[in-house]
Each structure stands twice: as structure tokens, then as C-alpha cells.
Amino acid sequence: MNELIPKLNSSATAKKKTSIAKIYLKQNLSLNKSKIIINDNSLKNLFNINYFDTFLNYINIITKNNLIYDLKIIVKGGGIQSQRNAIRLGILKSFINLNIEYKSLFKKYNLIDNDSRIKERRKYGLKKARKASQYSKR
């Protein structure tokens, strides 16, 4: 019975390096433009909001969906670039939570790519993760 009612809201969590993004996607029924809130507008100057707005339009073109969604984003850790990539992946995951058929579409356009590489920890006795002091024979 629940499958007949389309979902209007969705949420997802995504990670990139050490940054974690929580995305809350909600269908906008009144306005013409999507509303994007990042950490209660504290990071609005750091991120280019138009990037996410055009990304949402791109997703709507791929999915042939004419609905407008509002985004509430909570992002922590990492740098700006990894936070942006985590947000992007979280938006895709939340759309997949709305409709599972979107997953094959996103894979077709190579949008779902999770890069799990993180910085290697520093080891005891070394200067960095792998950099050792120069060996002296005499």
C-alpha cells in the first residue's frame, strides 16, 4: 500500500575522505526555485550555491523529473573540495532513496563514484607515513 504513494522527502549520508555530509531532500510545492541551506547558512560564502542548483537541474534532466526540491545540508570535517564531493554524492543517494530506478541512470552517466582513498597515518619512527630519514652508511 505504501508503494503507491510517491515519496516527497528523503535523506542520505555520504562520506569523502574525512568529510561527512547529511542531506535532507524535501519536495518544494510552492516556489519556483530550490532552496539550499548549508549548515544553517554559515557556509554559504564558502560554497558556490549555484553549483548545487545547476547540479539539481542536471539530475532532473537525467531523471526526466520536473519537480523542485529543497536541500538542507549538514557537512563536517575535511576540506572544501571533499565537502563538496560528499554533498554531491549525498544528493545522488537521496534521489536514489526516492526511486531505486535512478541508480542505473546515475551509473550510466558515471555520477556515482565513491573514492575511498584517505590520507595514510604517520608511522612511528618515520617522518611521514612512508618517508624515513636518510640512511647513512658511515
Show pLDDT as tens, one digit a residue, over the chain (138 residues): 455 556 788 999 999 988 999 999 998 887 677 788 888 875 666 677 778 888 888 888 888 888 888 889 999 998 888 898 999 999 999 999 988 999 999 999 888 888 888 889 999 999 999 999 999 998
Q: For position 103, what pLDDT does the model report?
A: 92
Q: For position 115, what pLDDT does the model report?
A: 80
Rounded to 10 deg, the angle between the 80-98 and 49-63 helix axes is: 30
pTM recorded for the entire structure: 0.81
Burial, 86: exposed, middle or buried (Cβ in 10 Å; 0-12, 13-18, 19+)?
A: buried
41-74 in b/e form (b: 16+ CB < 10 A) is eeeeeebebeebeebbeebbeebeeeebbbbbbb
Distance CA 120, CA 122 (A): 7
Q: For position 6, what pLDDT does the model report?
A: 60
Q: For position 92, what pLDDT does the model report?
A: 93
Q: For position 2, what pLDDT does the model report?
A: 52
Residues 6 or more apart in contact with residue 80 via CB below 8 angstroms: 46, 47
Please report the domains of the chain, with CATH numbers, ordered by start residue: 7-108 (3.30.230.10)
Q: For position 1, what pLDDT does the model report?
A: 46
Q: For position 43, what pLDDT does the model report?
A: 62
